[in-house]
Amino acid sequence: MKTYRKYHFHVWKTLVVNFKLLPFKQAIHLPIVIYGKTQLIISNSSVKLLCSPRFGIVKFAKNHEYFYPTPAPSLLFMINGTMVLEGDVRFSSGCTLRINDGILQLGENVCFSGGCKILCNNRIFIRAYSQFAFDCVCCDTNFHYILQKDGLVKDCVGIIEVGNRNWIGNSTTLMRGTQLPDNTIVASRSFVNKSFLGYHDDGILIAGSPGKVVRLGDQRVFSAQKEMEIRAFFKKSKMTEMWLAESDFFFYE
């Protein structure tokens, strides 16, 4: 009970998830911690750690930004699925993680805000430090097949690849076929289903439905220290609309 009061996680569900998905020597460290009202549906699935096992590598349904209420129900569904973890990952309240006959690989410090849905029936790879704002959908399948007038039926599953340090705006949908390079920003409510790996500029901004590149060279500032400096500048200089970065400015830590 002392541990529960200190960390406020669901003890029984945490034990079930770890000992169902991980080898015993890794499970005893409780790398996956379950919070809130989380429904568990798990069968014939596994988690592979590419980092040292320790407590709380994955924090599932822990409300860390309060875009959704803490009691919002969440779902962890894994049937014949594999999740590969390279480091810390956060799923906030109200998230759905559904892996059905698929492989989901997540880089370190990947973050999903409240209400996100990750639906993996084939292969999704999200690299390090990428963040999804609230109500995003990342889905590598159309779920059903379509018979075309020429008699052909295309496969309904595909692959999604998200590069390092991507920022996916709220209510955005990434569908099968999506490939995003490093330092990509996707504007809110965009729909993306194709590859943008041909862009070699250091940062692109995608917007619209379907998503198109609207600006080159933009990057999100991931450095907490720099964000504090910029916020302090605008609070002090309320009549100024732009801040000029110095030549040695760094976007992330």
Q: What is the 3-state secondary structure (H, E, C) of 140-172?
A: CECCCCCECCCCCECCCECEEEECCCCEECCCC
Indicate the pLDDT class of residue 3, thresholds 50, 70 and 90.
Answer: very low
What number is the average pLDDT over the span 58-79? 94
What are the pLDDT digits (tens) for 88-115? Answer: 999 999 999 999 999 999 999 999 999 9
- Any residues with CB less than 8 A from the CB of 97 and at least 6 apart, and which? 60, 75, 76, 77, 78, 91, 104, 118
pLDDT range class, residue 4, cuts 50, 70, 90: very low
Tell me what percent of the residues of the chain surpass a pLDDT of 90.
Answer: 78
Phi, psi of 230 (to 5 degrees): -65, -40
Q: Does residue 132 surpass a pLDDT of 80?
A: yes
What does the pLDDT read at residue 2?
A: 47
pLDDT at 1 over 70: no
pLDDT at position 248: 57
Average predicted confidence (pLDDT) for the chain: 92
Contact 102, 124 (CB under 8 A): yes
What's the pLDDT at 252?
Answer: 62
pLDDT at 152 > cutoff 80: yes
Higher pLDDT, 245 or 174: 174
Flag whether pLDDT at 250 surpasses 70: no
Q: CB-based burial of residue 114 (10 Å sphere; 0-12 exposed, 13-18 middle, 19+ buried)?
A: buried
Strand pairing class (204-207; 212-216): antiparallel
pLDDT tens digits, one per residue of 204-249:
999 999 999 999 988 888 888 888 888 888 888 876 778 777 755 5
pLDDT (mean) for 192-213 = 93
Reported as a single tens digit per residue, the pLDDT across 15-61 is: 999 999 999 999 999 999 999 999 999 999 999 999 999 999 999 99
What gap in Å lies between CA 191 and CA 172, rounded to an integer?
Answer: 6
More confident residue, 2 or 222: 222
Give percent of the chain with pLDDT exceeding 70. 94
Q: What is the DSSP string of 213-241?
A: EEEES------HHHHHHHHHHHHH-TT--
pLDDT of residue 224: 84
Residue 103 CA: distances (Å) to CA of 61, 159, 231:
21, 10, 39
Q: Which residues share a beta bridge with 84?
A: 48, 105
